[in-house]
Amino acid sequence: MSTKRTSKSRDPQPLWADHASIRVGISSCLLGEQVRWDGGHKRDRFLTDVLDDYVEWVPVCPEFEVGMGIPREPVRLVSSGRSTRMIGVDTKHDWTAEMRTWARRRVRDLRAMDLCGFVFKKGSPSCGMERVKVYVKSGHPARQGSGLFASELMERFTNLPVEEEGRLNDAKLRENFIERLFAYRRLLSLFEGRWRIGGLVAFHTRHKLQLLAHSPKGYERLGRLVARSKGMTRAEVRAKYENLFMAALAEKATRPRHVNVLQHCIGYFRKELDGVARAELQEVVNDYRAGVVPLVVPVTMVAHYVRMLSVEYLADQVYLQPHPKELMLRNHA
């Protein structure tokens, strides 16, 4: 029986949640599968022991699936001037055509699975997202390429949140990636079946503060799009909204933008809160601005007053809980 923590297993439904499970593609070796060229793995404890509670992994090992076997001869990327080839280190066997054909087919199949993101193994000639070694004629490598599977996936799924396991050790990159996984799931659900403009307006309203923390300009652009949406085809609105929404969230939320959002929230309590409580709340926001407390502190206080004072508009704002609190993504300095 699945023990995943989905929206159905909690009551009341948290703001980050969605009815569908969050499917995330992953380089198989990061899950501990022994698929590497030497028969080993690269298990990543955060992914397998923490994030695993919230997502359904879709493992992919390009080199095993294309038929290279385990163990196998390692391959590397080699620049031939006009193109980048995938070459066996000893035999010099050229795997490029097989890998590209397989990758096209695999990516097409993955599109049908409603993936919400992908975690790649860094540095791999198949899975690396960026800065993969590409060898030139002189035999020296330059860190300038992407793995053949990773580049095919990123070209076809332009809005899909993608990251490498190494970069997820950076607290800010980790928070941004995971926030986008949950956001993309909600976006896919919005556009499922016969969606209405009214549904899009409600979605956009619920995400206002979250978007403002990332990109005030992106929020404005999305607002203009929603306002003009009645004169456009549904397909056009969907494509444009999805592009702008995911691009806005890909901008890293900054401390000054969070402070603006928190001040905006405090404005909703102005009449109901007495002077002492308001000053206390303001002090916590000031402490966050100064880097003395992490973001989770003022946001928890704001959420407390939203519940206590029944501030309906804020109660719906995804910003207050964009991802499960157990992941502690807002607890870093």
In angstroms, give the least distance from the CB of 115 to ligand SF4.
16
Structure tokens at 49: 């022991």
Options 85, 106, 121, 186; binder of ligand SF4; rule CB under 6 A: 121
Distance in angstroms (rounded) separating the CA atoms of residues 202 and 268: 19
Binding mask 45-64 for ligand SF4 (x = CB under 6 A): ----------------xxxx
Whose Cβ is closer to ligand SF4: residue 31's or residue 320's? Answer: 31
Tell me the two tokens of residue 94.
């050229």
Binding of ligand SF4 at residue 151 (CB under 6 A)?
no
**178, 183, 75: which is closest to 126 by C-alpha?**
75
Backbone φ, ψ for residue 22 (5° rounding): -95, 105
Minimum Å gap between C-beta 129 and ligand SF4 is 11
Q: Does 35 bind ligand SF4 (CB under 6 A)?
A: yes
Is residue 126 a contact residue for ligand SF4 (CB under 6 A)? yes
CA 186 to mean position of chain CA atoms? 12
Tokens in use for 160? 């899909």
110 is a site residue for ligand SF4 (CB under 6 A): no
Could you tell me which stretch among 118-126, 211-219, 232-240, 289-297 binds ligand SF4 (CB under 6 A)?
A: 118-126
Task: With H, G, I as helix, E, B as strand and everything else as coil, classify residue 86.
Answer: strand
Q: CA of 62: how far to CAs of 40, 53, 107, 147, in Å?
A: 15, 25, 11, 10
Angle between helices 216-228 and 197-206 (to 10 degrees): 160
Verify binding: residue 29, ligand SF4, rule CB under 6 A: yes
Number of residues that bind ligand SF4 (CB under 6 A): 13
Check binding of 28 to ligand SF4 (CB under 6 A). Answer: yes
**Residue 26 CB, nearest approach to ligand SF4 (Å):** 8
- What phi and psi values does residue 146 have, to the nearest 5 degrees? -120, 150
Contacts with ligand SF4, residue ranges (CB under 6 A): 27-29, 35-36, 61-64, 121, 124, 126-127
